[in-house]
Amino acid sequence: MTILRPDPTYYPSPRMAMQAPKEKLAYVAVLNPNGRPDALAVMDVDPDSSTYTEVVGRVEMPVMGDELHHFGWNACSASLCPYAPHPHLERRYLIVPGLRSSRIHVIDTKPDPAKPHIVKVIEPEELHERTGYSRPHTTHCGPDGIYMNALGTPDGNGPGGVFVMDHDTFEPLGRWEVDRGPQQFSYDFWWHLGHDTMITSEWGTPNMVEAGLDPEVLLSNGYGHRIHVWDLRRRKHLQALDLGEEHQMVLELRPAHDPTKAYGFVGVVVSTKDLSASIWLWHRENDKWDITKVIDIPAEPAEPDLLPPLLKGFGAVPPLVSDINLSLDDRFLYISCWGTGEMRQYDVSDPFDPRHTGSLHLGGIARRTEHPKTGRPLNGAPQMVEVSRDGRRVYFSNSLYSSWDEQFYPDGIRGWVARADVDADNGGGFTLDADFFTDFGDERPHQIRLQGGDSSSDSFCYPS
């Protein structure tokens, strides 16, 4: 059957996207802490290929010191929304910002998706002048533009916020917020397109995070502990939802993919009361939004000799939930515990009552669990997690953020990417793929994007 869509990787609904062909390539942001430029690596993830699990392409950034972190596509299934003004766009360019440099790279994945190349660089000065922001972080392809957010202002203070880039020229258009209310801190953002609502989360200003986790700020509950609800069309702040000041660093946001559902999940890195981590559910009741804790993950006791200086006095390893991801059918939530070296799977079919359905371990501050393919203790731990569109493969990398890597893994991160296979047909559970392990050596992989889209790249306007 001939498909007349401008891009065959667009799907009206998440259910239809789950029927997409399997990914064959993965794009990985790679931090290089050893005096060389960062890079975007291309991994072969096709099990039928002779170069399966190998890095088969690479784009070096033009300048050192970017700290590549998160990135996203220029366009996605949101282009099929009934009010999208640019239905002719195709998913072709990766928008790759440097979190430390504020430099934004536009990378073309055509004509050969295994050999992408840079076609445009937006220098920090242009971003500063046009938006007032710096340290760009999350990228989402919206119906009407490319949305990015930033941690702060050029001097390293707040407020951080969202800005929009032109779909055709990639030029920053300006600050998104018309009325920001009390919002100052920034980390992640996403939306409910079916409810004209944006959600944003809180970490800290660049001056509070770039040199590492500041124990004084943390123990005084000085990092972010709220999420914010916005009118997406009018670009105005509606509500601040406070999780409680002890719940420090409210990071990754994962709204339900089905646009009829008005809820989503957010991870909290650490509680200053007991070092636990937690997952919270935001939801709408009677036109007001509320937030409820639905998952607690406790700290684990550990011998002080196994702990970095920052944790020796506690005698325990915090889970340090640093990323989460939600399968496209809104059924399984994956949680990276970068401190304890655990990846958890929960069945969230009932979002108010998640059911723990699986765990696996790799690395970890104290455990150092080995991968079956290497047979040696690993450092770092499951961190950035990405789920294939059909929900059957989970990819994850092990580096968080350079200055934080040094604090929690002072022996140095040796980079790796691993994969787990999901039992989606029998109630859940997942197992480590014993053959899938890619060693990045002294380079540090961070976010992973799958060719054609994944479970955190697209937004949909039509229900499943």
In a domain, 215, yes or no: yes
For 243, the token pair is: 């999780």
How do residues 294-349 score in pLDDT, each as one tens digit? 999 999 999 999 999 999 999 999 999 999 999 999 999 999 999 999 999 999 99
Q: Answer for the pair 130, 171: CB distance below 8 angstroms, yes or no.
A: yes
pLDDT at 86 over 90: no
Cα dihedral: 338, 399, 252, 232 (round 10): 180
For 373, the token pair is: 């393919």
DSSP H or E run through 186? none
Residue carrying structure tokens 């765990």 = 359
In a domain, 8, yes or no: no
For 315, the token pair is: 């005698």
For 176, the token pair is: 């998104």
pLDDT for res 147: 98
Strand partners, 316: 301
Q: Where are the beta strands (DSSP E) in 171-260?
A: 172-175, 189-192, 197-201, 226-231, 236-242, 247-255
Mean pLDDT of 173-190: 98
Mean pLDDT of 436-463: 97
Residue in 253, 245, 240 with CA at minimum distance from that of residue 182: 240
Residue carrying structure tokens 């029927």 = 19
d(CA 388, CA 297): 25
d(CA 104, CA 106): 7
Which CATH number goes with the domain that contains 291?
2.130.10.10
Strand partners, 93: 108
Q: Answer for the pair 399, 381: CB distance below 8 angstroms, yes or no.
A: no
- At residue 238, the 3 state secondary structure works out as strand
Residue in 170, 21, 36, 43 with CA at minimum distance from that of residue 116: 43
Greater confidence (375 vs 6) lies with 375
pLDDT for res 260: 97
Residue-by-residue DSSP string for 201-225: EB---HHHHTT---HHHHHTT-S--
d(CA 302, CA 299): 9
CB neighbours of residue 262 within 10 Å: 17
Residue in 379, 357, 334, 359 with CA at minimum distance from that of residue 426: 357
In a domain, 5, yes or no: no
How do residues 102-112 score in pLDDT, each as one tens digit? 999 999 999 99
pLDDT at 115 over 70: yes
d(CA 353, CA 358): 16
How do residues 2-51 score in pLDDT, each as one tens digit? 556 678 999 999 999 999 999 999 999 999 988 899 999 999 999 999 99
- At residue 146, the 3 state secondary structure works out as strand
Percent of the chain beyond pLDDT 90? 94
CB neighbours of residue 216 within 10 Å: 7
pLDDT band at 70 (very low <50, low <70, confident <90, very high): very high
Pairing assessment for the beta strands 104-108 and 117-122 based on DSSP bridges: antiparallel
What radius of gyration, in Å, describes the C-alpha atoms of the chain?
20
Q: How far is CA 359 from CA 151, 422, 432, in A?
A: 32, 11, 10
In a domain, 131, yes or no: yes
Range of the domain at 328: 14-450
How do residues 195-221 score in pLDDT, each as one tens digit? 999 999 999 999 999 999 999 999 999
Q: In what order do the strands lie in the sheet with 393-397?
A: 385-387, 393-397, 415-422, 430-441
Q: How far does the chain reach from its first CA to its final CA, in angstroms?
A: 22
- At residue 29, the 3 state secondary structure works out as strand
pTM: 0.97
d(CA 433, CA 376): 16
In a domain, 217, yes or no: yes
In a domain, 4, yes or no: no
Q: How many domains does the chain have?
A: 1
Residue in 24, 44, 141 with CA at minimum distance from that of residue 457: 141
In a domain, 463, yes or no: no
What region does 129 belong to: left with phi over 0, alpha with psi -120 to 50, or beta?
A: alpha
pLDDT at 378 over 90: yes
pLDDT for res 2: 57
In a domain, 456, yes or no: no
pLDDT band at 159 (very low <50, low <70, confident <90, very high): very high
